[in-house]
Chains A and B, each alone.
Chain A
Amino acid sequence: MRFLFKTDYEDDIRLFPHSGYLVSYGILLAVLLIAPYMLSSYLMSQLVFVCIYATVGVALLILTGFTGQASLGHAAFLAIGAYTAAYLQKYNVPFPVYFLAAGGLTGIIGAMVGFPALRLTGIYLVIATISFALIVEEILARWESVTNGNEGMRVKTLSLLGVTVPRDSPTFYYLCLAVLVLTIVGTLNLLRSPTGRAFVAIRDSETAARSMGVNVALYKVKSFAISAAITGFAGVLFAHKLSFISPEMFTLQLSIEFIIVILIGGTFSLHGAVLGAIFIVMIDPFLTYLKDDMPGMIAGIAATFGAGPAAAGSIKSNVAAFASLNGLKGAIYGIIIVLFVLFEPLGLYGRWLKIKLFFQLFPLYKRATFKRQKIYVKSERNR
């Protein structure tokens, strides 16, 4: 086991605490760089979605995980980014310009949402962001001169410095990966700067932060703006990946999906955003795979345990009928969310930390190390 001795603050906020980080993240990056030549085109496309979702997840982590301001309206920010890109593209604006413009505009709108949110906490904030998202959705559907209404907008193929980049090309994947990596590195730097410390202080106790001289209002608005801007950047990539956008893609459902990303990944570390994105994007193909192969597998198991061919056949058709039931996916989603909240509140990254610690401390690992403490909520009305 490695012990890090920290002698000053610089040691504490280093990006790579020790050489092990450089090696492991270097290997990960190398694997990601050669991925387009290894994986099938379908998996590549899913990997692009993982990058986009993880970018949004990082944005949401800044706001929800590190500043403590819950938001169920991030689909709206994604939509604003996507529509800005699609609109500017009609006037032949080059990619770098509309990419930055989308992020900038979304950031400004995020700051504007942040102002009213200053006075709101807890459930009121959640509902205000839901309202914002619903209003944006309606505007997108009604402002037909700009957004083309419910018919949606076609997004032309991305062209970067005169080279066209189709949405399923490796170059597009590298672009998404670059945006994700830049976002993560930028966020890590942000979090070890005074601004990031102020965010965390606000999350832990607003009153304490204020009495230490943190301008709570300013930092909350900043957090909203940064989070929205990053989501706007992701929105541009999202629009290009789908090549067609319409208002019904950016519903409350999508906002909830983003929250699930960070909830399942773990809300206390940026790793959570990436792990959660992988989970949420990959669960769809995984369920489809189960749906296709499960009946055969179960019938096979039944046959090995002595079921006759007729019985095995009926088992197979029953399981197939169950697996193709309408809405089974929703039920599985629901169960997954509840199970994570109940049994794995630290998320996938928390589980990884537990496994790592288990081997580091073997055989002295104690389960109580990660036990949550009950806080016995007192009334928010008197807090």
Chain B
Amino acid sequence: MLDFVQQLVSGVALGCVYGLIALGFVLVYKATEVVNFAQGDLMMLGGFFAFTFIGMMGLNYWIGFAGAVAAMALFGMLAERVVVRPILGYPQFSIIMATIGLGYFLRSIAGMIWGTDDLKIETPFSQGVLRIGSLVLAYDKLSVIAATMILCTLLWLFFNKTTLGTAMRASSENMLAAYYMGIPVKRVVSVVWAISAAVATCAGVLLAPITFIHSNVGLVLGLKAFPAAVLGGFGSIPGAVVGGVLIGVIESMAGFYLPEGWKDVAPYIVLLAVLLLKPEGLFGHHVRKKV
């Protein structure tokens, strides 16, 4: 039983990381119906920025964190301006390919600048564990869970309660109509990319003590975050986090109870099963197609 709870908690912590990356996917998708295949690489880049500020320049953890988030928000805007804006309004598949290309580019550039070694960031949560009875919880994992909850709530409030969030939802429904209604669609899209890059950076920095940062981490985790976003319905902010947690728990349970090899495929098997039964994900809403 204790093993089970221990696995559950570490699965939830891992799942929250997937959820954080999936949040980035969902944000961009919600506002522009574009799927950003480079989201994981934005996370990786955010982690490297934080490493530069904290590990190399010796700044305070929180200042370095904030600096990395700000820098990545700018970078997200830049990436949107250069890669996405010229093809906004064209078929989805070309945008997917463009972001795949962006991902390739970021991975190899990061490999050139920061090398191919695993890097580690010293955080206030790196050491220490919380003991509840005989249950042992590491602070770094708890910090991920807490941060995910906070970010998810903030983003949900932002999307549903603020004017800018409403503008974002409007431009995803129908870009041209939103433009006619006076919504500055281009600026809205650019803000969304900034926010999603910032969320990705949070994921990267929180992840650093758990899996380390290297130039391929974005690809590996990004591929795991996809099922998370799809399970959650790809358009729902709480759905992304729930999907991420599900994937994380499934993965850690499969790693513990099933023979070797199941750990890596179990999330995808579950994903395919869910897609078969409920093609719009667990939290997506079904809509009839109008002709």
Contacts and interface: CB of A to CB of B under 8 A. Distances in A.
Contacts of B230: 123-124, 127
Interface string A102-145: 00000000000000100110111011101110110010011000
A215 B111 CA distance: 49
B217 to A, nearest CB: 15
A342 B33 contact: no
B253 interface: no
A375 B87 CA distance: 10
Contacts of A141: 261
B47 interface: no
A342 to B, nearest CB: 5
B92 A378 contact: no
B261 A142 contact: yes
B108 A381 contact: no
Contacts of A263: 97
B31 to A, nearest CB: 11
Contacts of B107: 327, 330, 334
Interface in B59-84: 83
A43 B101 CA distance: 28
B101 A131 contact: no
B218 to A, nearest CB: 13
A116 B87 contact: no
A134 to B, nearest CB: 5
Contacts of A334: 101-108
Given A127-B271, A131-B227, A380-B33, A119 B279 contact: yes
Given A126-B96, A335-B101, A325 B268 contact: no
A374 B83 contact: no
* Listed residue (A211, A329, A330) with the most chain B CB atoms within 10 angstroms of its CB: A330
A328 B261 contact: no
Contact of B94 (A132, A256, A345, A379): A345
Given A131-B227, A330-B108, A333-B104, A382 B173 contact: yes
A251 to B, nearest CB: 11
Contacts of A40: none
Contact of B265 (A134, A207, A377): A134
Dominant SS at the A interface? helix
Interface in A51-103: 70
A127 B227 contact: yes
A275 interface: no
B272 A116 contact: yes
A124 B281 CA distance: 9
* Listed residue (B102, B174, B261, B275) with the most chain A CB atoms within 10 angstroms of its CB: B275
Interface in B186-244: 215, 223, 226-227, 230, 234-235
Contact of A338 (B102, B174, B287): B102
Interface residues of B, number: 58
A134 B268 contact: yes
Contacts of A126: 35, 96
B118 interface: no
Contacts of B97: 259-260, 263, 337, 341
Nearest to A376: B176
B173 A378 contact: yes
Contacts of A119: 275-276, 279
A32 to B, nearest CB: 30
Contacts of B271: 127-128, 131
Interface string A308-336: 00000000000000000111111101111
10 contacts: A123-B29, A127-B226, A135-B272, A256-B100, A327-B107, A342-B87, A375-B91, A376-B174, A377-B90, A381-B285
Interface of B: 29, 33, 35, 83, 86-87, 89-98, 100-109, 111-112, 116, 172-176, 215, 223, 226-227, 230, 234-235, 261, 264-265, 268-269, 271-272, 275-276, 279-280, 284-285, 287, 289-291
9 closest A-B pairs by CB: A337-B101, A334-B105, A334-B104, A330-B108, A327-B108, A131-B268, A338-B101, A331-B108, A327-B111
